[in-house]
Chains A and B, each alone.
Chain A
């Protein structure tokens, strides 16, 4: 059965998805080429680490290939890929970083930030929001990226990460304050 695609999906994308769902790897390559920039941006911001972001881009597209049959076109492909990407990233963070997603006792304070920064970093951070994001502790960065850059609600973030909505809100405020300080240094 053909997948019914979201109304805003163009014909070429629909065709590529249908062919990829039928097992055509070449069609999936065009899906990759269309969406890799957005997926990479998400990975960079969520991890703050270029090398890990590239690993994750691979994991996400491999997972997308495996799960593509489950894509029903109820949302856009970009939205589906984004959600799948967030799940893959959160899984990886939990599996490979002992301090990842440790929200409750994590404090985004001046000491933590200054420890992670150097004079060169401070100059760069003024120019580069992504670098400033990378200096946030993982938990605070996760909440801020999901909420402020990708529009997830605190309830949704709580569901994805297993923290309370109030904790998500507190982390967000702290992260914004820390970012403001870094960008004004």
Chain B
């Protein structure tokens, strides 16, 4: 006896087999217990999957406060969603191994420090001048976005920093627990990258204390926090 193919079994189970092939395969199931049992198992799975598709998830923790803080902080620091550092990388760049990104982190952090020093004395511009850690496209003059409708919003930098700090501390705590599972070289490179970013953040904070309305410094600070967040997430997932 010739049994039905995998294509036919799967097609019978999920209903994608055309009518003619389905009728022929169904006729085989009548005389072949093994194939009938196999297709029956697949159909049971499909029923479970369909039932699961409509099920919602329960959440024992309210994530809204963290989301609200992040949105508020993006208003303060005015990150541009279309040219942000996270989304502007090419698919190839996004697939690079974790530590190949380290050099980019160091370079970006160095640029942040330079920018912090250079821009320390400048005052709130109507547009962002040509200094940025983002790719070239983002380095031209552009208005500061602030929300879905581009509504201007300015709040305190300390609120923004607090929102990031909460997430960063949580990740740092998790990594500390898992440190023993990381290789020594991974730990060393990770610590080194974190030091560079922390140094850049400290420089930017100092600069912002002197010039709290400097939009460019705020953007650079936000990007530095985001880089640290991304780096910590990679570290956590590597352990």
Contacts and interface: CB of A to CB of B under 8 A. Distances in A.
Contacts of A91: 86-87, 94
Q: Is the interface of B mostly helix, strand, loop or mixed?
A: helix
B23 interface: no
B149 interface: yes
Contact of B98 (A67, A98, A180): A98
B149 A22 contact: yes
Contacts of B180: none
Contacts of A55: 233
Nearest to B66: A58
Contact of B42 (A29, A69, A129, A180): A180
Contact of A65 (B48, B56, B148, B230): B148
A115 interface: no
Contact of A41 (B42, B57, B71, B153): B57
Nearest to A66: B81
B63 A65 contact: no
A136 interface: no
Contact of A183 (B48, B55, B147): B48
B74 A62 contact: yes
Interface string A22-37: 1101001100110011
B52 A129 contact: yes
B59 A150 contact: no
Nearest to B101: A95
Given A96-B233, A98-B97, A65 B147 contact: yes
B86 to A, nearest CB: 8
Nearest to B171: A55
A101 to B, nearest CB: 9
Contacts of B59: 36-37, 40
A57 B149 CA distance: 22
Nearest to A173: B10
B63 A36 contact: yes
B56 A67 contact: no
Contacts of B71: 25, 28, 62, 65
A171 B64 CA distance: 36
Closest 7 CB pairs of A and B: A37-B56, A66-B81, A23-B151, A68-B148, A41-B57, A40-B57, A149-B53
Interface of A: 20-23, 25, 28-29, 32-33, 36-38, 40-41, 44, 51-52, 54-55, 57-58, 61-63, 65-69, 91, 94-98, 129-130, 144, 148-150, 162, 172-173, 176, 179-180, 183-184
6 contacts: A23-B149, A28-B71, A54-B63, A67-B81, A68-B148, A173-B10
